[in-house]
Amino acid sequence: MTSPAPTELTAFAQSLISIAHTETRLCYLELLAVLRADPAVGEQLRGSGGYSPVQAGAEYYEMVTDTKQQAARLMRNAIRRRYPSHTVIGEEVPGQRGANGWTWSIDPLDGTSAMVRSAMRRAYGLPALRTDPAFGITVGLLHSDAAMLGAIGELLPRADDLVLGRGWLGGRDTPVICNGIPIPAWPTWSVRHPDSAVLACTAPKVMFAPGDQWDSFQALAATAAEVVLDQNCLGYMGLLNGSIDVVYERGLPVAHAAAVVPILEGAGVVATNQHGCPISFEVAARGRKYVLLAARRPLHQRAVVLTSTSASGADDRSGQEESAPLGKK
């Protein structure tokens, strides 16, 4: 069987982003309406000085989770119609094994908590954070466990709407672009000195909680000029324009890692585990989690020295953690 052409695959990946955006946008509008119908929640959040989904109630988080599941089903069905022999995996859908080595990994919303918090801010007029939570859509395509193509769509709150902001696309046979504009493999800006670097990690206390794994993050954070939180897949895309210098995360599902790795590598960013070893994907282990350390080469080399010496034995050198067979949780 002839492999699909790269142009065909990229166009289809973009169509999956559009499917996910349609569903998440409707959810965002509904979420705003539900929040505004309960002004007491806004008063509670103002009084507490923050606005986390846990403080406001689990029902908002559940609304978004239900939408993610519906969007993932629509994305999966579109893939099965177009490429019936391809495997489809994602956090929100049961694994569906194909027969020819191609695997789509999908997440219609990377950043559930970030979306809820953004809706709370808009609905109740809450003060802006130093760095707004960021969230998006991820689509990855692997062939025989090698990450071939990634597509990421930024979900951007605008007034009372949720629009598609920037979109990134690229991989092994596809030049990396952002909104159709090529991204050079070598940065056109001056890479920051390590002592001035900006480090991104979505949730350090969750991702690096146990023992020496926390020490490995702290070793890197202690040398950074700034640590930016709650950026999800968009944090990695900051490496492409110089707004972020290093991203270090663990516990990543394949749907996230398989989308960002080919884009980063295609744009000249080094993406490995904390020991400096290439990321080794294993589609059959659906529940496997990944460690990802990404930066431009000079900073990456220094980051590996810091994280690997502080986290020896924390994870194996393939960048993989615990796993479960495809189709099981």
Name the CA radius of gyration of the chain, rounded: 19
Q: Please give the Cα distance from 103 to 232 (Å, whole number).
A: 22
Give the chain as a 3 state SS string.
CCCCCHHHHHHHHHHHHHHHHHHHHHHHHHHHHHHHCCHHHHHHHHHHCCCCHHHHCHHHHHHHHHHHHHHHHHHHHHHHHHCCCCEEEECCEEEECCCCCEEEEEEEEECHHHHHHHHHHHHHCCCCCCCCCCEEEEEEEEECCEEEEEEEEEEEEECCEEEEEEEEEEECCEEEEECCEECCCCCCCCCCCHHHCEEEECCHHHHCCCHHHHHHHHHHHCCCCEEEECCHHHHHHHHHCCCCCEEEEEEEEHHHHHHHHHHHHHCCCEEECCCCCECCCCCCECCCEEEEEEECHHHHHHHHHHHHHHCCCCCCCCCECCCCECCCC
- Lowest-confidence pick of 67-71, 134-138, 319-323: 319-323
What number is the average pLDDT over the span 63-79? 95
Distance CA 254, CA 93 (A): 13
Cα–Cα distance for residue pair 149/260, rounded to 1 Å: 9
* pLDDT exceeds cutoff 50 at 65: yes
Q: Are 261 and 150 in contact (CB under 8 A)?
A: yes
Sheet hosting strand 146-158, strand order edge to edge? 93-96, 87-90, 102-110, 135-143, 146-158, 161-171, 174-178, 181-182
Instruction: Determine contact, residues 254/283, Cβ cutoff 8 Å.
Output: yes
* pLDDT confidence tier of residue 161, bands split at 50, 70 and 90: very high
| Calpha distance 105→76 (Å, rounded) | 9
How many Cβ atoms are within 10 Å of 101's Cβ, its own excluded?
15
* Residues facing 33 on adjacent strands: none
* Assigned token pair, 37: 């119908």
pLDDT digits (tens, 9 = 90+) for 255-280: 899 999 999 999 999 999 999 999 99
Q: What is the pLDDT of residues 178-201, one digit of tens each?
A: 999 999 887 767 778 888 999 999
Confidence of residue 41 (pLDDT cuts 50, 70, 90): confident
**How far is Cα 219 from Cα 224, in angstroms, rounded to an integer?**
9
List Cβ<8 Å contacts ≥24 apart for 208-212: 208/250, 211/314, 212/310, 212/311, 212/312, 212/313, 212/314
8 A C-beta contact, residue 264 and residue 221:
no
Q: How far apart are CA 246 and CA 204, in angstroms?
A: 14
- State the pLDDT at residue 191: 75
Q: Which amino acid is at 301?
A: Q
pLDDT digit string, tens, across residues 103-113: 999 999 999 99
For residue 133, the Cα-to-chain-centroid distance in whole angstroms is: 12
pTM: 0.91
